[in-house]
Chains A and B, each alone.
Chain A
Amino acid sequence: MLKRISFDVLLLVMVLYFPWWVAALGAFTGAFLFASYYEIFLFGVLFDIIYGVPSAMLHGLMGIIGATIFYFLGSLSRNYIRPVYK
């Protein structure tokens, strides 16, 4: 549990202070390492709220779309490559 919370704090720092692709890598890593990593959707929404505008590309939904894709990719990768990390 502590590992998961620590990783969430780290991902929050990535979203706020690092380029977007670092946050994307961090999100995918979280989805890969942790089962049912629902926090990724919260970070996706946060990313779009902070940086996005409705008139931008993909109507400012890149964060949540990316979060959804990374969640499923991470989950699939985890199931095929390694045991679940709870």
Chain B
Amino acid sequence: MSKRRVTLFAIIILSFFSLIYTPVREELVRLVSPLASGAFYLGSKTAGIGNALVNNFRDKNALVYENSMLRAQNSLLQAEVLDRSVLQGQIAQLEGTLGRSKNNNLVAANVLEGFSQSPYDTLTIDVGTNQGVKNGDYVAYGGVGVVGFIAETTETYSKVKLYSSPGEEYLVLIGSHLIPATARGKGDGNFDAKVPQGSAIVVGDVVTVPKDNLVLGRVTAINQKEGAPYATVLFRSSFNPTEIQTVEVVVGTH
């Protein structure tokens, strides 16, 4: 075997080893994370400057129209948040009475790179063990909807694996009757779950994760065949995973 081939195979084997052997991988992640965080921060600042420059050339009327649309949408969202805050207060009061107070230790984090950047359905966020984040902690969006969990963490940054990652399976509760089911990730914020035929589930029902009642999504369709023992429930996240800019890590839920 020629020297070149030996070199090639040695490089390939070494590369795989560095990723498969956990201690080496963890050390590499620890070394690369500050550089990657810095690079992503620089990238976001550059993109911000670029957007500001481009906006100078946009049609003024289009900007005015977009501004009015966004203001209207903002008012609607504020009303919805107010309504939800009132309900949350009532729920917290009831849970306190029943002796089931939640752990609301939330750590806010910025998304450094979104899930469209890689084929892994992961997010990179700018908090880590320095902020008390540990592997397995839930990651929420808007304080209510759950996005995924911490899959890998260093001192300053962490990787969030989305629940909708293809092949992932989780126990969920569907609808007002809290029907248990195993949800499977289909990618891009989509899930499916099998429930017994005739279950009291309708389109629009909320799907939650058992712990802390965090919302995973809403039912979008129910596929059932006559005579089949199971129906397939399709549901998706209430938000677009590609638009997530900030998340909250629910520390202590691992």
Contact = CB atoms under 8 A, between A and B. Distances in A.
Interface string A27-63: 0000000001010011011111111111111011110
Interface stretch (A1-9, A14-22, A78-86): A14-22
B38 to A, nearest CB: 10
Contacts of B81: none
Contact of B120 (A16, A18, A44, A56): A56
B58 to A, nearest CB: 23
Contacts of A16: 36, 39-40, 43
Interface in B1-22: 4, 7-8, 11-12, 15-16, 18-20, 22
B122 interface: yes
A58 to B, nearest CB: 9
Which secondary structure characterizes the binding site on chain A?
helix
B137 interface: no
Contact of B119 (A38, A45, A55, A57): A57
Contact of B118 (A38, A41, A44, A47): A47
Nearest to B113: A51
B120 A41 contact: no
B32 A49 contact: yes
A46 B124 CA distance: 14
A61 B16 contact: yes
B15 A56 contact: no
A53 B19 contact: no
Contacts of B122: 51-53, 56
A57 B165 contact: yes
Nearest to A18: B117
Contact of A57 (B29, B39, B40, B166): B166
Contacts of A44: 15
Interface residues of A, number: 30
B154 to A, nearest CB: 11
Contact of A52 (B11, B39, B113, B118): B118
B49 interface: no
Nearest to A50: B36
A54 B25 CA distance: 10
A27 to B, nearest CB: 13
A55 B18 CA distance: 16
A17 B118 CA distance: 10
Nearest to A52: B120
B96 interface: no
Interface in A61-86: 61-62, 64, 67-68
A59 B20 contact: yes
Contacts of B12: 41, 68
Contacts of A48: 19
Contact of A19 (B20, B28, B116, B152): B116
Interface of B: 4, 7-8, 11-12, 15-16, 18-20, 22, 25, 28-29, 32, 36, 39-40, 43, 113, 116-122, 124, 151-152, 159, 161, 165-167
